[in-house]
Structure 1
Amino acid sequence: MNTPDNSHAFSADEIDAVYRAIRERRDMRHFRPDPLEEGQLERFIHAAHMAPSVGYMQPWRFLRITDPALRKAIHAHVDEERIATADALGERSDEFMKLKVEGILSCAEVLVVGLTDQREKYIFGRRTMPEMDLASASCAIQNMWLAARAEGIGMGWVSLFDPARIRELCGMPEGSQPIAVLCIGHVEEFYPAPMLEIEKWDKRKNIKELFFENAWKI
């Protein structure tokens, strides 16, 4: 069967580059402190802001942490939550505590990402699924992640925190919701596979377990 002509497609090399960024993106925990090049962080933010959003609500807000004391306070809180998470894991507690779960003190840049307040006024696409604001912000973070990987910069998404505490530390408005602490910076190397897979915490599921046709097969 002949393949239909598609004048909208990128070139073969460009397509390969997109899929390579997707395939080699990693949730990084090990960083070098070298600063990013001038304008690089701004490019990543612009990439994030090009993400799709339900009802075009653009719920994402990015807070750059440049105060060393604030960075240390965020790290201290994340470490408290790391210990609390270990306690909650029961028999896997010791195994979890051996994992490196963040690089807040060693990376070049730390960003706190949050959902804006007053999101309830955006009904388009959210009437029955209000969580779509979180889905939209996650798309923005993924855009940033892929842009960073394409430029050889590592990024890690830290979610071990109490949103109320991060909101307080960062002076965020009541009703806003912190969803991520992002560590961004140079790395010695990118992990050859996801770190939790390398550490045998879990493994990638077979696609046959996740992809169905017409009905969800249990």
Structure 2
Amino acid sequence: MITACGLQRSYRSGTERVRALDGVDLQAARGAFVVLAGRSGSGKTTLLNMLGALDRPDAGTLTVAGYDLTAMDRAARARFRLHHLGFVFQSYNLIQALSARENVAYVLQLQGKTRRARRKAADYWLAEVGLAGMEERRPEEMSGGQQQRVAVARALAADPDLVLADEPTANLDSHTGADLIALMQRLNRERGTTFVIASHDPEVIARAGVLITMQDGRIVEEAQPAEGTTSSAVE
């Protein structure tokens, strides 16, 4: 599903250049439940942006779902995001003027699906995330946990190859955050959808199928907590 080789990315900060990714190598199989851990500034979000075709590396190669992202121009990356990826953001990123159903259906509208197909898919996924009966509610009428569930439904409605989540529990209380991650795990297990989640949350880290720890733009450790095995990254 994901193959990254030697990813490099640096940014200018004032008069200095900051290396956000420093030779990242990564492989993840289809159906994996991957958590990226590490302190702020470790490179988690930069790597997530690469996987989401939101940014390009300065060097290295990256293949996701069989597509070479490093060879794509901006328009091709936009099409790839629309048809192959789902996103869950820390701040939900719902359209405030739209109902839960309309928020979920929006990406399907961009894909050219019929009104009937959009409504059917939106209602199905809202029910899947435990929000049946709340289709007409707007974000302001929902709790933070409910809004994030709408975001998960929106991410999955288009049947993506990969769902990327950036600190999805950061704005939720511990109980609601644990429920959200349990929901993602269930969908991963039942649907086989691949997830990559960047998080500081110990609850999220504890539930990782594959735990990747980053530091100073490098992967310093990869672990499979369920199997109790770890391996240090090779520089």
The TM-score, its normalising length taken from structure 1, stands at 0.29
Select the structure of larger CA radius of gyration: 1
More helix by share: 1
More strand by share: 2
The TM-score, its normalising length taken from structure 2, stands at 0.27
Highest RCO, 1 vs 2 (Cα 8 Å, sep ≥ 6): 1
